[in-house]
Structure 1
Amino acid sequence: MGTITPRESKDGSTAYKAQVRIRKGGKVLHQETKTFERRQAAQIWIKQREAALSHADGLKAALQENPPVKDMIKRYIEELGKPLDRTKKMILGQISGSTLGEVKAAQLESSHIVGYMRMVDVAPSTRGHYLAHLSSVITLARPAWGFPVDSSVVADARVALTRMGLVGRSRHRERRPTIDEMDRLMNEFGKVRERTPDSIPMQELAAFTIFSLRRISEICRLRWDDLDEDGCRVMVRELKHPNTKAGNDTWVDLTPEALRIVSAQPRDDDRIFPYRPLTASTAFTNAVQFLGIDDLHLNDLRHEGASRLSEMGWTIQRVAAVSGHRSWNTLKRYTHVRAVGDKYEDWKWLEVIAPLRNQAVLKS
């Protein structure tokens, strides 16, 4: 016998979730759900599906179109039509390889998702990403492929996980390095480079992170062909954005210091900084730990750069032109104004990594 459950929508209206289950030996053999705006429509659908499933051929066809979550994910990746970013691909891969990935579409309930999320050892904000990526798959599965999966299960799971405190927004970091900490780091990076000339040039990368406000993954994608020196700008390919995950190529302004560092780089590769982001992140973390600096991340240097520009009196619009942010609400978390002026004025390390006299010779 089918069941109908009223559900309140976000706009305050009432929707009706219709559910049909076929049991055998005390176990759910097949389950289908569908949501309607009117109760009468839900009742009609239940009668139609129960009639169809009462025949052997109808039940057989339904069971054949009831793939596990991992197969839905596989088809989603194959037919999406655009490449997934690394994080989304990793998360979907983890779900596919878990017990959640084995659950059949028609049997998938919010309790399965809640149970999996409770087992994932990540921050509450990261669990939100897991839910969002899973929702992308499930939302497409019924209308695109006809799979009998209830698209509301993720939303129900999110409500439960939020109330349990397992899903929430990320905490805003306000950690900024002091000049002394940056001097110690730059000195250590220089020593490593002297001992191992082929090692990654962390002095340049750390300084450029501050002065460009770029993520290390973006820095390592910058290309000489995308540099407009006369316009003091560069195109960032695949700029990270909460709503646009791919194809988000954006021109951003370069501060004078950032352009100076770029101009000092050798042009022996298509990329300006031809290095692996993970290598840079690891090198930074190792140096921080070796020097005993407390709780400093490479990404904190972006916060430092945005706050520096604000302390120098730059307007929100001008800072956003460098950072690539599209709204003040997003940018404000990266700006923590503590003083007035430029604490990096006459910073000795800029002359070390990008001597003006050498650049003058190259341009002459």
Structure 2
Amino acid sequence: MATIRARKKADGTVSYTVQIRLKNKGVIVYQECQTFARKQAAQAWAKRRETELAEPGAIERANRKGHTVREMIDRYLVDGAKVRPLGKTKKATLLAIAASHFGEVVDSAINSQILVDYALWRMSPEGGAVQPQTAGNDLAHLGSVLSVARPAWGYEVEPHAMSDARTVLKKLGYNMKSRERDRRPAMDELNKLLKHFFEMQKRRPSSINMPKVLAFALFSTRRQEEITRIRWADLDEERQAVKVRDMKNPGQKIGNDVWCHLPDEAWAIVHSMPRECDEIFPYNSDSISAAWTRACQFLEIEDLHFHDLRHEGVSRLFEMDWDIPRVASVSGHRDWNSLRRYTHLRGRGDCYEGWTWLGKIISSQVTLGARSHGVLG
């Protein structure tokens, strides 16, 4: 039989712990417990588990030790890294999930109710009081793990648990989709950043040449990770194009190599780099991210991401009256709906025409130092 006990926490919220104990001739043959933020979820889980455990052979299966979410995530991180390193945000999110109480949930216990309860916990003060979109991102990254845990590793994960949980959360009124970002850098912000980065170059000539990286990201619309993967062998001199390896795509990431046109400004920046390494920009992506974050904090520039340069580059091309196929030939987008998310127009014309920084960026010297023998930060 199942018993439900309510416990008041320090922050005033109440949690509900379900305990199930089954006896045979006075001897406990099985017991388990789960804690929920909502009483309804606790009651639903207790009812479902009692029904499941009444089936023949259910107790034997339930006594199987099982695999925890933390173990699944650890395996996913190891297996995924063999093909290609996971993105920084996704990896950090999965590690946080593994370190939470949800990381101790075993595979056979994962269902829509417990996933809904986890999302609600994340949105509660105890779980970090995150926005629904952040909780949605947690579920999306966790879903990547669960989608391979059953077919690849034989773990007992309910196949429709994640999709059912999302349906429930939507019915409850939570918008779990990420908000479309429309931030573009102001010209004054770019002036501050470039001045700062050029000063850093004077002090440390062998540091990452952030002026070239910044300008190339803007004019090429390339993502941060893509920039550091581009090789000299990936250039097509006749077509003024570059092969972008493993371009980010929801349906295909590995082996999704796409040829993208480089506008004249990006093409000139590429050919201003020394041919001392296989990579055109032989820098570490995480080091670029750190340099960008430090600069924005120092200059007190709020809420400006490196990825916003891609928004700026795409929007600029449309403001120059480029049509959709021509812009897509630069950005690499396959459909208008995806491209639309990067389009936030401010006016007409090229606001970078006669940009005084461009000549200085192209003519600036690059000192690779130890990078000539390998990619460093």
Shorter-normalised TM range: 0.7 to 0.9
Distance 1:148 1:239 in 2: 33
1:23–1:91 CA distance, 2 compared to 1 (3 A): farther
Distance 1:334 1:327 in 2: 12
Q: CA deviation at 1:141?
A: 4.1
Distance 1:76 1:288 in 2: 33
Matches within 5 A, 1:238-253: 238-253=246-261
1:227–1:116 CA distance, 2 compared to 1 (3 A): same
Structure 1 stretches (4+) deviating beyond 6 angstroms?
Answer: 78-81
Q: CA deviation at 1:190?
A: 1.1
Task: Tell me if structure 2 keeps the 8 A contact 1:188–1:287.
Answer: yes
Q: CA deviation at 1:123?
A: 4.8
Distance 2:223 2:276 in 1: 22
Q: Which residue number in structure 2 is paired with residue 51 of structure 1?
A: 56
Q: Which residue number in structure 2 is paired with residue 174 of structure 1?
A: 182
Q: Which residue number in structure 1 is paired with residue 101 of structure 2?
A: 99
Match for residue 299 of structure 2 among 282, 286, 291: 291
Task: Tell me if structure 1 keeps the 8 A contact 2:30–2:63.
Answer: no
Q: Which residue number in structure 2 is paired with residue 108 of structure 1?
A: 110
Q: Which residue number in structure 1 is paired with residue 43 of structure 2?
A: none
Q: Which residue number in structure 1 is paired with residue 86 of structure 2?
A: 85
1:220–1:75 CA distance, 2 compared to 1 (3 A): closer
Q: Which residue number in structure 2 is paired with residue 329 of structure 1?
A: 337
Matching residue's letter, 1:101: G
1:166–1:272 CA distance, 2 compared to 1 (3 A): farther
Calculate percent identity across the aligned residue pairs.
Answer: 45
Task: Tell me if structure 2 keeps the 8 A contact 1:238–1:249.
Answer: yes
1:308–1:61 CA distance, 2 compared to 1 (3 A): closer
Matching residue's letter, 1:267: R
For the residue of structure 2 that corresponds to 1:173, the secondary structure is: coil
RMSD value over aligned CA atoms?
3.3
Matching residue's letter, 1:194: K
Note the alpha carbon deviations across 1:64-91, whole angstroms, 9 max, x for none.
3733333344555667784462344444
Task: Tell me if structure 2 keeps the 8 A contact 1:23–1:29.
Answer: no
Note the alpha carbon deviations across 1:200-246, whole angstroms, 9 max, x for none.
21111111111000111211111111111221111111211122232
Runs of at least 5 residues in structure 2 that lack an aligned partner in the other structure: 2-19, 34-50, 365-377
Note the alpha carbon deviations across 1:244-290, whole angstroms, 9 max, x for none.
23222211110010000000001111111111222222322333333
Matching residue's letter, 1:231: R
User: Higher mean Cα deviation, 249-258 or 238-247?
Assistant: 238-247
For the residue of structure 1 that corresponds to 2:341, the secondary structure is: helix
1:26–1:166 CA distance, 2 compared to 1 (3 A): farther
Runs of at least 5 residues in structure 1 that lack an aligned partner in the other structure: 2-20, 31-45, 54-58, 357-364
Quick check: 1:214 aligned with 2:222?
yes
Note the alpha carbon deviations across 1:296-318, whole angstroms, 9 max, x for none.
22222211111111111111111
Distance 2:354 2:261 in 1: 22
Q: Which residue number in structure 2 is paired with residue 5 of structure 1?
A: none
Distance 1:109 1:138 in 2: 11
Quick check: 1:258 aligned with 2:266?
yes
Distance 1:95 1:296 in 2: 27
Distance 2:57 2:60 in 1: 10
1:264–1:82 CA distance, 2 compared to 1 (3 A): closer
Q: Paired residues, what number?
A: 318
Distance 1:75 1:277 in 2: 24
Task: Tell me if structure 2 keeps the 8 A contact 1:135–1:151.
Answer: no
